Amino acid sequence: MDYEAVIGLETHVQLKTRSKMWCGCANSFGAPPNSNVCPVCLGLPGVLPVANDEALRLTALTGLLLNCNIPPYAKFDRKNYFYPDMPKNYQITQYDKPSTVNGYVDFEFEGSLAQVRITRAHLEEDVGKNFHFDRNSGIDFNRAGVPLMEIVSEPDITSPAMAYEYLNALKDILTYGLVSDCDMEKGMVRCDVNVSIRPRHQKELGAKIEIKNMNTFSGVRKALEYEIPRQIEVLKSGGTLIQSTRRWDDATGTTEEMRTKEHAHDYRYFPEPDLMPFQPTEAWLEEVSRRVVELPLARKQRFMRDYHLPAPDAQTFVWDVPLGNYFEGIAKHAKNPKSAANWVINNLRGKMTESHTTLEELKFKPSAIPELIDLVDGGKISTRIAQEVFAEMFASGKAPSEIVAEKGLAQVSDTGAIEKFCDEAIAANPGSVTDYQAGKGAALNFLKGQVMKLSKGKANPALAGEILERKLKPGGAAVTQPLNQGQ
Ligand SMILES: [Zn+2]
């Protein structure tokens, strides 16, 4: 029997706010343990939470970026459970009235467009962090109360690779929208994976198995690559799968069972009595909607459409936003945006990395790049010389035409001068001449290369090619015997 996987993801993302969700403590990573804490985020008795407005805004903004509806009424609830990293013994979250519902994410997958529907994106709080040492354990509460958004997808994902691409697309969107830094190293994005299998074409879903607390996207992919065949194997060998929670062990590359449905938590959700329900006004929503940005995929498609860029170039400008913006500033005025992209990606970026220069520190004006391209396209300089001019304008900030004039780099299009170089090349390479006349076309390129060398790169290559061809034609002026240059 043929099986298919049904995968849904719950992605937790720390929001980029200055302070925590219910108190004024800093939302920052890496401070000494328990230095960013107060009675509220330590869960001491008698304190009252005050909702962070920016976190509410970022959640609504995420809703807009993920094509969700923003319901007119949302509320917070208590999710009750006991765990040392959460001293209140409940987590404040949104249960049945979340801030955003019913959206979708479009992304590129295996050469076409894929879509995963979003059930909801709701707001909650992060918990502290347990550390286990040789003989004791410690808890750092700096993370307790950091605003955390949970984005729940519909089970629309069908493969480990698709899960991986969806997560990357989601991360790109949230980073673009300045919702979160999504720094995986700092644990800002964590995932729970729900995966079941069913015989292909069966409507009914199989037993849902959850893999908890994944903190890398490649880990999610690897866990699914292990878990799907495992489940199929269980069914094929006559076993049954039951709803359960598992943990991924990166070291062994396997998942292991933590608890089954019978031992599932009953969280006893109830409305948080210390917080008012949230009812966004039109003015508030209008303000949030002004923060909506162009999404990465839309940017890529626009760069391909408006500037005729190939997909990899457009993708480069999606990943490197400042470089893409710099390119766009040039491309709007360039006759040839495709070649402007080449210069920016292949030359400028390399030089900047090499010399640790930022875009703000560039000495030449952005208009210098289209000017350089015009010099090449107009036949004034060769592409080889253009490299030299570029290096000089990068170093000194001078305009390309100024450099060409100063250094005498203009291309030689004077037929007489090029003829002289051609004669020399022919005379010095009788073997290539014979080869060419025997039908080996490549020999012409070699001779052309020699002409360019003799002219120090300044000969107009097209003209050099024409002249060589004419001279080497039977009956042309070519010297088929080496010149006796010694006399
Ligand atoms: Zn606090």
Residue 485's pLDDT is what?
A: 47
For the full predicted model, state whether its pTM sits above 0.85.
Answer: no
Amino acid occupying residue 474: P
Near ion ligand 1, which residues have CB within 5 Å?
A: 23, 25, 38, 40-41
Strands of 112-125's sheet in order across: 100-109, 112-125, 147-153, 3-14, 189-199, 209-214, 244-249, 254-260
CA atoms lying within 13 Å on the CB side of residue 82: 0
Query: 15 C-alpha to center of ligand 1: Å?
Result: 16
Query: 148 C-alpha to center of ligand 1: Å?
Result: 15
Residue 479 pLDDT > 60:
no
Residue 272 pLDDT > 50:
yes
Residue 324 pLDDT > 50:
yes
Query: 47 C-alpha to center of ligand 1: Å?
Result: 10
Query: 92 C-alpha to center of ligand 1: Å?
Result: 14
Query: 26 C-alpha to center of ligand 1: Å?
Result: 8
Q: Predicted confidence band at 407 (pLDDT cuts at 50, 70, 90)?
A: confident
Helix axes 383-396, 368-377, angle to 10 degrees: 160
To the nearest whole number, what is the mean pLDDT of the chain? 92
Residue 475's pLDDT is what?
A: 65
Query: 33 C-alpha to center of ligand 1: Å?
Result: 13
Alpha carbon distance 174, 189 (integer Å): 11
Residue 60 pLDDT > 90:
yes
Higher pLDDT among residues 308 and 487, named by residue:
308
Alpha-carbon dihedral sign for residues 449, 455, 457, 459:
negative
468 and 477 in contact (C-beta within 8 Å)?
no
Query: 11 C-alpha to center of ligand 1: Å?
Result: 24
Query: 283 C-alpha to center of ligand 1: Å?
Result: 30
Q: Predicted confidence band at 314 (pLDDT cuts at 50, 70, 90)?
A: very high
Predicted confidence (pLDDT) per residue in 159-216, tens digit: 999 999 999 999 999 999 999 999 999 999 999 999 999 999 899 999 999 999 899 9
Bridge-based pairing of strands 209-214 and 244-249 is parallel
Alpha carbon distance 400, 395 (integer Å): 12
Q: Predicted confidence band at 484 (pLDDT cuts at 50, 70, 90)?
A: very low
Predicted confidence (pLDDT) per residue in 424-439, tens digit: 999 999 999 989 888 8
